[in-house]
Structure 1
Amino acid sequence: MKVILLERVEGRGALGDVVTVKDGFARNYLLPRSKALRATAANLKVFDAQRAEIEARNAKAKDAAGAAGEALDGTSYILIRQAGETGQLYGSVSGRDVADIVNAEGGKIDRAMVVLDKPIKTLGVHPVKVKLHAEVTVTVTINIARSADEAERQARGENVIASQFEEEAQLAAEAAADLLEGGAGQQDGFGEEH
């Protein structure tokens, strides 16, 4: 189906372009969200008559998104989640979770604005893109940890999972050394009674 784009659509074209898209994409996404019009002779005339107004509205929306993006870009948020010893989350962090935490701390984004290639399933500090407008994208940092203390350590750059394994290995080595030095349960003469 041929449509006239009313705003920039990634991978398709810019405002005013007449492009051919699949029927389902046009019917289910572009047309209901007022991102495009069917490319008929009547709609082309209407678009040409209103082009300046549409461009001004689009520029205003872009400026508003840019202003909101300046406040949001580079911000960091902490999510406390349960996870296993290897850092695998019990569940995952989705776009909805990211939108909820940003909105809880004063931001104004919709979950559809959060760009995640796949859900986040591990502890750590993850950069997440937020698309505020077709031409305005910012990055926020999501620090996923099991506790506030762990989140602080991760924010400083520490790998909490690796350090946890190092601590356990050190404790095991100390326990083994203690046993070798005649610690717990050892008798003189290797078990001989006196």
Structure 2
Amino acid sequence: MKVILLERVEGRGALGDVVTVKDGFARNYLLPRGKALRANAASMKVFEAQRAELEARNQRAREHAAKSGESLDGTTYILIRQAGESGQLYGSVSGRDVADIINDAGGKVERSMVVLDKPIKTLGLHEVKVKLHAEVTVTVTLNIARSEDEAERQARGENVIESQFAEERAAAEETAQDLLEGGAGQQDGDYGD
């Protein structure tokens, strides 16, 4: 189906472009959300009459998104989640979780604005893109940890999973050394035959 784009659509085109898209994409997404018009003679006349107004509205929306994005770009949010010893989360962090934590901190983000290529399933620092407008994208950092203390250690750059394994290894080596030095199973004394 040929449509006239009323705003920039990622991977399709910019405002005013006449593009061919799949029927379902046009009927279910572009047309109901006011992002496009069917490409026919009547729609072209309507679009040309409203073009200046549409461009001005798009410019205002982009400026508003850029202004709100300045305070959001580069911020870090801490999410406390349960996880196994290997750092694997019991569940995952989704776009809704990201939007909720940003909104709780005073931002204004909808779940659909959060761009996650795949769900986050491990502890650590993860960068997430938030698309505030078709032309404005900011990056926030999620610090996913099991506790506030662990989150602080991760923020300082420490790999908590690696250091946890190192501590366990050191404790095991200490126990083994203690056994070798006679800590268990050996007794000093004179045992007669």
Q: TM-score normalised to the size of structure 2?
A: 0.97
State the match for 1:137 in structure 2.
Answer: 137
Partner of 2:127: 127
Q: Distance in 2 between matches of 1:154 and 1:186?
A: 43
> How big is the alpha-carbon RMSD for the aligned residues of Structure 1 and Structure 2?
1.0
Match of 1:27 in 2: 27
Where do 1:1-194 residues align within 5 Å? 1-188=1-188, 193-194=191-192
Deviations 1:37-66 (A, max 9, x none): 111111110000010000000000000000
Query: Whole-Å Cα distance in 1 between the matches of residues 101 and 19 of structure 2?
Result: 37
Q: Which secondary structure state, in structure 2, belongs to the residue aligned with residue 9 of structure 1?
A: coil
Aligned-pair distance for 1:185? Answer: 4.3
**1:89 match: secondary structure:** strand
Offset, 1:33: 0.9
Counterpart-to-counterpart distance in 1, 2:191 and 2:39: 100
Aligned-partner Cα distance in 2 for 1:79–1:34 = 35
Percentage of identical aligned residues? 80
Aligned-partner SS, 1:27: helix
Amino acid paired to 1:179: L
**2: CA distance, partners of 1:93 / 1:68:** 24
For residue 188 of structure 1, report the CA deviation from its aligned partner: 2.1
Aligned residues: 192
SS in 2 for 1:91: strand
**1:153 partner letter:** R
CA drift at 1:186: 2.3
Distance in 2, matches of 1:39 and 1:48, equals 12
Distance 2:154 2:109 in 1: 25
Whole-angstrom CA distance in 1 between matches of 2:6 and 2:136: 16
Distance 1:138 1:26 in 2: 27
Deviation by residue 1:84-135 (Cα, 9 ceiling, x = unmatched) = 0000000000000000000000000001000000000000000000000000
Question: 1:7-47 CA deviation, whole Å, 9 max, x = no partner?
Answer: 00011000000000000000011011110011111111000
Shift >2 Å, 4+ stretches: none
TM-score (structure 1 length as normaliser): 0.97
